Amino acid sequence: GDSVTQMEGPVTLSEEAFLTINCTYTATGYPSLFWYVQYPGEGLQLLLKATKADDKGSNKGFEATYRKETTSFHLEKGSVQVSDSAVYFCALRSSSRASGGSYIPTFGRGTSLIVHP
Amino acid sequence: EAGVTQFPSHSVIEKGQTVTLRCDPISGHDNLYWYRRVMGKEIKFLLHFVKESKQDESGMPNNRFLAERTGGTYSTLKVQPAELEDSGVYFCASSQDRPQSPLHFGNGTRLTVT
């Protein structure tokens, strides 16, 4: 079945440092890929997405490129801020309907990011 | 548009008691998902509704969990009787039925079973 693997956290950085959170996936066909962010006390919210190979999703200074050849969707930001401290989830949504007839979303374990001033 | 809302935000119950969680999806979203996250672990899929029909409940841990979505609007997830290992954050999400569509999550219900 589909799966998503994220790097273990927590990732601890100083403000203005460069961020990379690795994400690789296993899926049949051409899934859509997503990064979600969960700030303390809140639910997950969509950060960015890419729906086909070589697409780059971007939002709030974060970027991720859909790499089919390496089945990866790594999240990057050039200069992190304290306010970026959160848990980041990589996810995919299959392009094939599951037996139940839906496009089942699959999530990674989440990577906690802590940014110090 | 109003987002996904969940109630309650927190619940603390004793082992053996019953708890019912509620989720109101975004209007017009036929797909509704329940997920659970135990501290530091992955977001685990529980079940999926399309309108009022259960499409996939392969993630439901056992028969102590019962989910309903009467009329295809809001959904409830009942845990009866609750056990210690049921503690965690229960998320509800809704979406349109396209693979490119993201999920819209509620803020979750933090359940603590003591």
Helix, strand, or coil (residue B84): helix
- Strands A111-116 and A11-14, by their bridges, are parallel
Local confidence band at A98 (pLDDT 50, 70, 90 cut-offs) = low
Task: Give pLDDT, residue B26.
Answer: 95
Local confidence band at A99 (pLDDT 50, 70, 90 cut-offs) = low
d(CA A9, CA A48): 20
Residue B35 confidence (pLDDT) above 90: yes
Q: Which of A42, A105, A110 sits opposite B103 (nearest CB)?
A: A105
Cβ of B91 and A44 within 8 Å? yes
Task: Give pLDDT, residue A97.
Answer: 67
Q: With 0-12 CB in 10 A as exposed, 13-18 as middle and 19+ as buried, what is A6?
A: buried
- Strands B75-79 and B65-68, by their bridges, are antiparallel
Q: What is the mean pLDDT of chain B?
A: 92
Alpha-carbon separation of residue A91 from A34, A39, B30, B39 (angstroms): 5, 17, 20, 18
Helix, strand, or coil (residue A77): strand
Which residue from B49, B61, B105, B68 is spatially nearest to B86, judged by alpha carbons?
B61
d(CA B90, CA B21): 8
CA B75 to mean position of chain CA atoms: 8
**Tell me, what DSSP letter sits at residue A95?**
S
The chain A residues in contact with chain B (CB within 8 A) are 31-32, 34, 36, 41-46, 49, 51, 89, 91, 93-95, 98-110
